[in-house]
A and B are shown apart, each in its own frame.
Chain A
Amino acid sequence: MAQPFRLARGGRIDRARPVRFSFNGRTVEGYQGDTVASALLASGIHLVGRSFKYHRPRGILSHGPDEPSALLSVDRGPGRVDPNNRASVVELREGLKTRSQNHWPSLRYDVGAVNDLLSPVFVAGFYYKTFMWPRTFWDRVYEPFIRSAAGLGKAPTEADPDRYANRHAHCDVLIVGAGPAGLAAALAAARTGKRVIVADEGAEPGGSLLHDVTSEIDGRPAAEWLKAALADLDGRENVVLLPRTTAFGYYNHNHVALAERVTDHLPAGAANAPRERLWQVRAGEVVLAGGSHERPLVFADNDRPGILLAESVRVFINRYGVLPGRRIVFATSGASAYVAALDAKRAGADVTLVDLRLEADCGPEPARLRAAGITVLTGHTVVGSTGRSRVAGLLVAPIGSDGRCGRRRRLACDCVGMSGGWTPAVHLFSQSRGKLAYDPALDAFLPGTSAQAERSAGAARGTYDLAACLAEGDAAGAAAAGSAERRPFTATPTPTGFQPVRIMPTDADPAKVRAVVDFQNDVTAKDIKLAVREGFQSIEHVKRYTTTGMATDQGKTSNMNALGIVAGQLDKALPGVGTTTFRPPYTPVTFGALVGPARHALFDPIRTTPIHGWAEAHGALFENVALWRRAWYFPKPGEDLHAAVARECRAVRAGVGIFDASTLGKIEIVGPDAAEFMNRLYINPWAKLEPGRCRYGLMLKEDGYILDDGVVARVSPECFHVTTTTGGAARVLAHMEDYLQTEWPDLQVFLTSTTEQWAVIALQGPRAREVIAPLVEGIDLSPQAFPHMAMRSGTLCGVPTRLFRVSFTGELGFEINVPSDHALAVWEALMEAGRPHGITPYGTETMHVLRAEKGYIIVGQETDGTVTPDDVGLAGMIAKAKRDFVGKRSLARPDVVASGRKQLVGLVTDDPSCVLDEGAQIVADPNQPIPMRMLGHVTSSYWSANCERSIALALVAGGRDLLGQTLHVTTPDGFTTATVAEPVFFDPKGERIHA
């Protein structure tokens, strides 16, 4: 029989659709509608993993997202292998491959289980106590050991081939959870016509109604009510119902993040659909109806496979048609397990129920069970379990009136359902910054004061009775949607009696008992007690010392038990110990969902110029400058960077080079007060700059340090064409707008970014004029009519242009501004026209070398945010007559006017072939004791083909007074010597530029 524990009827699985998957290489059969957990149980497989620390055999504890033990590696195909999937939430799919984790060589025979025998060694704080010394053991012994023990499962190594989607959504009411409370809320909110989103983490919406086969709502079986409710919601245009969608993060302003699992449950073939979708919902109001988690009981060997949560036993029976055992003992301190026991009995199991509570405290439930033929032992504790990799018996004992345990007896069984009561899922409420309030009657933290527009309903706020849940959900949904309408509900009463218990009373030596509190991190009750004995009193400290609640399940099943034990040890009331912080995500979220489509080309915008394609086609290599990708150099076959740049550099000075400068930032500054605005922002004077002329502008921050630079042309009396550095474009525009809007709103000036309107082609070299002459119309190119630092409008190749005669190379040069969509055509025409002149395309590296040969600074290379105009020798540009400009007052600061500031100088290495490292430190005497006094550092350094030697720029303390002196510069092996020089290495008189 393929599925010996499958019931003949019942459940929401489809017995007509068998599904095969593999577990540790063995083929297992289940049905459509199963989870991996329910299918494993149907085949009688309980041992599914080894615990984290002690490698104890572990089974399936829960049916839901709180599962701490049954963590499997799931293989959905190449590149689609995930560790740590909870077997209870992975939907069965044909061909799925699953594996257990944390064992070697096999699940059944695990060498690591020796840890269990050594458990007295692995006490709380073991790592802190053990890995202290010797220091030398840290790198090779301790750290590798800790790292290998630091997590379960293996991270995938292949790139994820799946697609992940992102969606922003807005709604009036977001409802988290589609159990009875959530559905009632959804129905109430939906009726108002407002926009409603309902997210439920399950494959099917319904929550507890999916496994409640006995309750009635409004005179109908719960399942029928559910069907009708879903049909109602489905038929409404204003409702989006999202199954398989976990609300995992609650952020400011009702921004709630949901992870929707879109295709994992589908047979392979949904290839182009996203695997998961991240919903970023901004909700007017949020209703939290996420239900509650059942607490395990803490007794010796409570982690043996076959020991489940009581409600989970009920779910496997009623929802999945699986009987987890034939002889089931329920152990409980509350009434909910009685319902599970009745359902198990009805499904054909041999059932016994053990209740810690005294008969008198139990209400009518024991009598109902006995009437159904179930043995009920009230006033009994559980002191242990027997069996090896599957539970074979539960050891119970009566508790006498003196609180002592009576004689033990063994209840033979193959499955245990335990219940220590319920813990409302307040995670999202807590994430929303709402304040929790402890309710002693319910022994639970409940949502207290809200911090955002949200409300909780149902079990999520400690309401467990079905009719009450429905009424509360209805009220919450209606209120959230602004409706005063309320609907009454009638439903079968839910047994809700409960007595809190921390550790089950036992007759054994508590110091020797392994009673697990945190199943995922393998923390036992005695670990927590030890932590308290060692002085930890805050739950936040105990948590970190013992790691309880710190696994990926965030202690859903363990937190209240851990808190209770700490409070008990300290003899404090529970709220006095505090509660731990709930952080997103509620359950683990894939990296893919968080990353979404932001991968590869869509990770960041990659900005390219209109000439990019040409550069690619002509073999350019590229470098990143801000988000731009710029042509770095154009190697010919066989050339490396050095050879290509040397050739490009020579070509520019000997003939003509062509360079794509389109990435330069450009701002059109227009208005009657444009010149005044420029005067206030730049150190230079602008009032007298005539239309058609250019000026190199330097801009400071308020602290007097250089912010940006660039050539500015006055297009007309009221219009300036400003250029900025490539990386500074956005920053400069923001800086300008900031001043304009907040400091000088009276100025009649408008700023418009034209960076991308104009592509810029720099044509540089003695033959530049000859190349463009035949293409230009409407502009007199003669040196007299069109001198250096002038700008003319006209056409080039018939395309309107703003033609700048400017140079960043020291050669005769033009920067041709043309509308971007025409730039490629103009570039190609220039290449054609320049062919007879040996026109050479060059990239940013050559541009850098050529400007360094002339000592032109690059903001961000020669400057670092602490450099003044005088530091780089540009104080002469400051307009003396201006009353003020941004940064002016800071230039009078004592530290700015003091002597000894670092100044820009050239460095000439004694060995002309030695190219200094950029960033290399400079000292006067390399033999001085360490730490040496650093005089400054190299800011730019290149091999200059035109100078036939290395050149370097540096910032050196008092540098201009050191001209001709020898300094020492660090190299990878030590020091080399260099002479301080003027920062101009080529054409010092600057004659070529005026050609």
Chain B
Amino acid sequence: MLEARYRTARALPLGRTDAPAPAGAGLPAPAGAGLLIRPAAAEARFSLRLRGPLVAAAGLPLDRPINTVSGDETRWIARLGPDEWLIGAAETDADILAAAAIADLAGRAHALVDVSHRNVGIDVRGAAAAIALNAGCPLDLGDAAFPAGSATRTLFGKAEIVLIRRPGPVPAYRVECWRSFATYVYGLLQEAAFGVGPLERAAAR
């Protein structure tokens, strides 16, 4: 389906990461808040639905527990339910990844749907990242309840998101939302940056 010969680069709803924030997105996060909120670059994403046991497809593990994410930032797979995964990859890998997955899934009832343009990624990093997310996300994001490697579908304010926590020395989260909700989600994250309060509050974790 995907062709290499696009007429233009993708026009992301929150702009390119080096471009200024979109109108209505609010002020940038205050300096020193221990927080970096950045729209992700263009990426490929697939929704994979599959029933029955399978260890892996396209080199991505399918046997990990629900609500976990595997892989690294260039290729990851989040298990969101018993038969549902969200896959992310570098945009240039999209065709290869899809072809490999389809080959591995041949003969099994499944759906591999390209949602690269449906989903928008926002990266939230820093000591206060979880506090900012908790401005709109009611989940317990403490280390015990939501350790690195966690992934779940949840709410951020009035928008549905997928929340992924990546491993690393600094808390790092990926928020995935649908395209038309991106301005709202990004705006609410920016607003949340003003409410994180002193960093001592990180003790809340």
Complex partner residue of A750 from B49, B114, B138, B159, CB under 8 angstroms? B49
Q: Across the two chains, which residue of chain A brings its CB closest to B137?
A: A168
Determine whether the beta carbon of B110 is less than 8 Å from that of A750: yes
What 0/1 pattern do residues 607 to 626 of A give for CB contact below 8 A with B? 11110000000000000000
What 1/0 flags go to B16-49 for Cβ under 8 Å of A?
0000000010010010000000000010000101
Contacts of B8 in A (CB 8 A): 822, 825
**CB pair B179 A601 closer than 8 Å:** no
Query: Per a CB cutoff under 8 Å, which of A280, A608, A752, A823 touches B47?
Result: A752
In the complex the two chains form, is A752's CB within 8 Å of B113's CB? Answer: yes
Q: Complex formed: what's the CA distance from A467 to B113 in Å?
A: 67
Once the chains are docked, how many angstroms separate the CA of A909 from the CA of B1?
A: 51
CA distance A823 to B184 in the complex (A): 21
In the bound assembly, the distance between CA atoms of A755 and B179 in angstroms comes to 10
Q: How far is the CA of A826 from the CA of B27 in the complex (A)?
A: 32
Taking a contact as CB atoms under 8 Å apart, the answer to whether A756 and B3 are in contact is: no
Give the contact stretch, choosing among A65-73, A234-242, A428-436, A522-530.
A234-242
Shortest B38–chain A CB gap in Å is 18
Known: A752-B111, A757-B115. A601 touches B184 (CB 8 A): yes
| A497 at interface, CB cutoff 8 A | no
Asked if A756 and B157 sit within 8 Å, CB to CB, the answer is no
Q: Are B111 and A602 in contact (CB under 8 A)?
A: no
- B122 close to A (CB within 8 Å): no
Query: 1/0 contact trace for B110-152 toward A, CB 8 Å?
Result: 1101111110000000000001001111111010010000000
- Asked if A280 and B138 make an inter-chain contact with CB atoms under 8 angstroms apart, the answer reads yes
Nearest B residue (CB) for A797: B7
- The contact of A597 among B2, B10, B191, by CB within 8 Å, is B191
Which residue in A195, A272, A821 is a CB contact (below 8 Å) of B10? A821
**Residues from chain B with Cβ under 8 Å of A670 in the complex:** 49, 110-111, 113
CA distance A450 to B139 in the complex (A): 26
Interface string of A808-840 (1 = CB under 8 A from B): 000000000001111111100100000000000
- Does B64 make an interface contact (CB < 8 A)? no
CA distance A758 to B117 in the complex (A): 8
Q: Are B180 and A628 neighbours in the complex by a CB distance under 8 Å? A: yes
Does A820 lie within 8 Å of B51, measured CB to CB?
A: no
Tell me how far the C-beta of A151 lies from the nearest C-beta in chain B, rounded to whole angstroms. 31
**Contact residue among B11, B47, B51, B179 (Cβ-Cβ distance under 8 Å from A822):** B11
Size category of the binding interface on chain B:
35 or more
A163 within 8 A of B: yes
Contact yes or no, A274 B6, CB < 8 A: no
Chain A hits for B6, CB < 8 A: 798-799, 822
> Once bound together, how far apart are the Cα atoms of A914 and B3, in whole Å?
53
- Tell which of A239, A609, A819 has the most Cβ of chain B within 10 Å: A819
Pair B180/A754 contact, Cβ less than 8 Å: no
Contact of A168 among B110, B139, B201 (CB under 8 A): B139
**Chain B residues near A272 (CB, 8 Å)?**
27, 30, 194
Q: Flag whether B197 is at the interface (Cβ < 8 A).
A: yes
A452 close to chain B: CB less than 8 A: no
How far is the CB of A830 from the nearest CB of chain B, in Å? 12
**Chain B, 67-117, CB within 8 A of any chain A CB:** 83, 109-111, 113-117
For residue A605, CB closer than 8 A to chain B, the reply is: yes
Q: Which of B1, B49, B185 contacts A800 (CB 8 A)?
A: B1
Is A437 an interface residue, CB under 8 A from the partner?
Answer: no
In the assembly, what is the distance between CA of A274 and CA of B8, in Å?
A: 42
Q: Which residue of B30, B83, B137, B197 contacts A277 across the interface (Cβ within 8 Å)?
A: B197
The distance in angstroms between the C-alpha atoms of A819 and B83, with both chains bound, is: 25
Find out whether the CB atom of A748 lies under 8 angstroms from the CB atom of B180: no
B11 touches A824 (CB 8 A): yes
**A273 contact from B114, B115, B194, B203, Cβ within 8 A:** B194
The CA-CA distance from A95 to B2 in the complex, in Å, is 65
Q: A606-B183, A748-B109, A797-B7 are in contact. Are A165 and B195 (CB under 8 A)?
A: yes
CB distance from B32 to the nearest CB of A (A): 12
Given contacts A757-B116, A820-B118, contact A671 B111 (CB under 8 A): yes
The answer, yes or no, to whether B55 is at the interface (CB within 8 Å) is no
Contact in complex: A282, B47 (CB < 8 Å): no
Q: Are A757 and B117 interface neighbours, CB within 8 A?
A: yes
B205's nearest neighbour on chain A, judged by CB, is A195
- In the complex, whether A753 has a CB less than 8 A from a CB of chain B is yes
Q: How far is the CA of A748 from the CA of B49 in the complex (A)?
A: 11
Q: In the bound complex, do residue B24 and residue A755 qualify as a contact, i.e. CB atoms below 8 Å apart?
A: no
The total of chain A residues at the interface (CB under 8 A) is: 63
Residues of chain A contacted by B109 (CB below 8 angstroms): 671-672, 748, 750
Asked whether A821 lies within 8 Å of B117 as measured between CB atoms, the reply is yes
A170 part of interface (Cβ distance < 8 Å) = yes
> In the bound complex, how far is the Cα of B2 from the Cα of A167, in angstroms?
42
Closest chain B CB from A988 CB (angstroms): 38
| Bound CA–CA A170/B203 (angstroms) | 12
- CB of A168 within 8 A of CB of B180, answer no
Nearest CB in chain B to that of A276: its residue: B195
Inter-subunit contact A748/B51 (CB<8 Å): yes
Q: Does A793 contact B (CB under 8 A)?
A: yes
Distance A826 CA – B117 CA, assembled complex (angstroms): 15
Contacting residue for B1 out of A628, A793, A823, CB 8 A: A793
CB neighbours of B66 from chain A (8 A)? none
Given A169-B204, A240-B203, A606-B183, decide whether A822 and B7 contact each other with a Cβ distance below 8 A: yes
- A753 to B10, alpha carbons, bound, how many Å? 20
Contact B24 A197 (CB under 8 A): no
Q: Which of B24, B158, B179 is the one whose CB lies under 8 Å from A820? A: B179
Contact A604 B111 (CB under 8 A): no
| Minimum CB–CB distance for A745 against chain B, Å | 10
Cα distance, A829 to B8, chains bound together (Å): 11
What residue of chain B has the Cβ atom nearest to residue A826's Cβ? B7
**A197 in contact with B204 (CB, 8 Å):** yes
Does B12 sit at the interface, judged by CB under 8 A? yes
A165 touches B194 (CB 8 A): yes
CB <8 Å contact, B134 and A169:
yes
Contact with B along A256-283 (1 / 0, CB 8 A): 0000001000000000111001001010
Name the distance in Å between A658's Cβ and chain B's nearest Cβ: 17
Would you give the shortest CB distance from A278 to chain B, in whole angstroms? Answer: 10
Q: What distance in Å separates the Cβ of B44 from its nearest Cβ neighbour in chain A?
A: 11
Q: How far is the CB of B51 from chain A (nearest CB, A)?
A: 7
Question: Does A598 interact with chain B (Cβ within 8 Å)?
Answer: yes
Query: What's the Cα separation between A756 and B118 when bound, in Å?
Result: 4
Q: Do A165 and B157 touch across chains, with their CB atoms under 8 A apart?
A: no
In the bound complex, what is the Cα–Cα distance between A277 and B8 (angstroms)? Answer: 44
Contacts of A756 in B (CB 8 A): 117-118, 178-180
A752–B1 Cα distance when bound, in Å, is 17
Question: Measured between alpha carbons, how far is A823 from B7 in the docked complex, in Å?
Answer: 11
Q: Is B192 an interface residue (CB 8 A)?
A: yes
Q: Which residue of B lies closest to A663 (CB)?
A: B180
Determine if B42 and A821 form an interchain contact, defined as CB atoms under 8 angstroms apart. Answer: yes
Q: Which residue of B lies closest to A627 (CB)?
A: B180
> Does any Cβ of A come within 8 Å of B163's Cβ?
no
The residue from A167, A197, A752, A793 contacting B195, defined by CB atoms under 8 A apart: A167
In the bound complex, residues from chain A placing their C-beta under 8 Å from that of B162 are none
Contact with B along A653-691 (1 / 0, CB 8 A): 000000000000000101110000000000000000000
Contacts of B203 in A (CB 8 A): 236-240
From known contacts A748-B51, A798-B3, infer whether A166 and B145 are also in contact, taking CB-CB under 8 Å: no
CB atoms of B115 and A752 under 8 A apart: yes
Known A-B contacts A272-B194, A597-B192, A754-B118; A602 and B184 likewise in contact (beta carbons under 8 Å)? yes
Q: Give me the interface of A with B, judged by CB distance under 8 Å.
A: 163, 165-171, 195, 197, 236-240, 262, 272-274, 277, 280, 282, 597-598, 601-602, 604-610, 627-628, 668, 670-672, 748, 750, 752-758, 793, 795, 797-800, 819-826, 829
Closest 6 CB pairs of A and B: A165-B195, A821-B10, A607-B180, A750-B111, A750-B49, A605-B184
Give me 14 A-to-B residue pairs in the complex whose CB atoms sit less than 8 angstroms apart, sorted by A's number. Answer: A166-B195, A238-B203, A274-B195, A597-B135, A597-B157, A597-B192, A607-B181, A608-B183, A753-B118, A756-B179, A758-B117, A795-B5, A822-B7, A822-B11
